[in-house]
Amino acid sequence: MTLDARALRDAFGAFLTGVTVVTTHDAGGAPIGFTANSFTSVSLDPPLLLVCLAKSSRNYAVLTEARGFGVNILAEGQKDVSNTFARPVEDRFAAVEWRKGPYGSPVFADVAAWFDCAMHELVDAGDHVILIGRVEGFENGGKTGLGYARGGYFTPTLAEKSLLASADGTLLLGAVAERSGEILMVEDGKDGWTLPFVEKAEGEGLDALERHVSDVFGVGLQPGLLYSVYEDTKTGRQHVVYRAALGDGAPRRGRFFPVQSPPLGAIADSAVRDIVKRYAAESMLGNFGVYFGNQEKGRVHAVAAKG
């Protein structure tokens, strides 16, 4: 059977991916890199990942002879970086802030995550070669990754940001803000706890939540994906809650509770209690849903499934 290559490529493109920039140095020490969405995590023990490199790439010889390579998972604000490293630009590295990773390949600032790898194996595969890397160092910046599907980019939280900015009426923005297996909770009356919430003014977006956490708690907040949208039918107020990563430093207010043992008996707001309970259960599976409904009944939509 002969397949239509263009049609096949379009069908492959139905698979939603992130976007990475794969890097190394040439023999003269100059950094090289190209955009790749063929990244796949492979193994935890030993720690392996892979990317597929076209044999037509100008960097084919350098990459296949390199002692290692870096994989930079682009954050959703880095569309320009993706385009630069996919086009014949003279100095692609002028578009990013970068440094040498622990194993020597270029790693970028402000990415969702990076991995610096030793070359583990090269597998010949048709018009591509599969580069299998052994992870020697990595950093997970906590930012949401840039998405790619059917030839176009998508930005999961930036899209929501603009939706939020144009939302009618008042909204309460909240966060399940996690750091090292603990979530930040804030005093809610005497002996009670709730999640950090802030009222969003008209025209404001998700930045209102970042600013609130930074002003009130004195720590940085990196909002991630949407976690719960509900209306409190008693107060008529809409709530939009995000999963978020919390920056370093001791918060000026509130307290950390282990994700798996939140103070359920001391959470008066039943919606918050349900969110915290669901978060504990879903973190065990690494499989988070998004809840839509009111504070009593609604639906959880699965957004991610692992294994």
Ligand X SMILES: Cc1cc2nc3c(=O)[nH]c(=O)nc-3n(C[C@H](O)[C@H](O)[C@H](O)COP(=O)(O)O)c2cc1C
Distance CA 168, CA 202 (A): 7
Q: How far is CA 160 from the centre of its chain?
A: 14
Closer by beta carbon to ligand X, 58 or else 252? 58
Closer by beta carbon to ligand X, 94 or else 201? 94
Distance CA 198, CA 267 (A): 18
**DSSP alpha helix (H) spans, the chain:** 5-12, 60-65, 79-84, 156-165, 207-212, 270-285
Q: How far is the CB of 110 from ligand X (least distance, A)?
A: 18
- List interacting residues with ligand X (CB under 6 A): 19, 34-38, 52-54, 57-59, 82, 86, 148
Q: How far is the CB of 9 from ligand X (least distance, A)?
A: 11
Distance CA 41, CA 213 (A): 33
Q: How far is the CB of 162 from ligand X (least distance, A)?
A: 22
Closer by beta carbon to ligand X, 39 or else 217? 39
**Contact (CB, 8 A) for 211 and 173:** no
Closer by beta carbon to ligand X, 20 or else 157? 20
**Contact (CB, 8 A) for 22 and 64:** no
Q: How far is the CB of 218 from ligand X (least distance, A)?
A: 38
Q: How far is the CB of 181 from ligand X (least distance, A)?
A: 34
Closer by beta carbon to ligand X, 93 or else 257? 93
Q: How far is the CB of 95 from ligand X (least distance, A)?
A: 13
Pairing state between β 221-232 and 289-294: parallel
Other Cβ atoms within 10 Å of 233 Cβ, number: 11
Closer by beta carbon to ligand X, 6 or else 299? 6
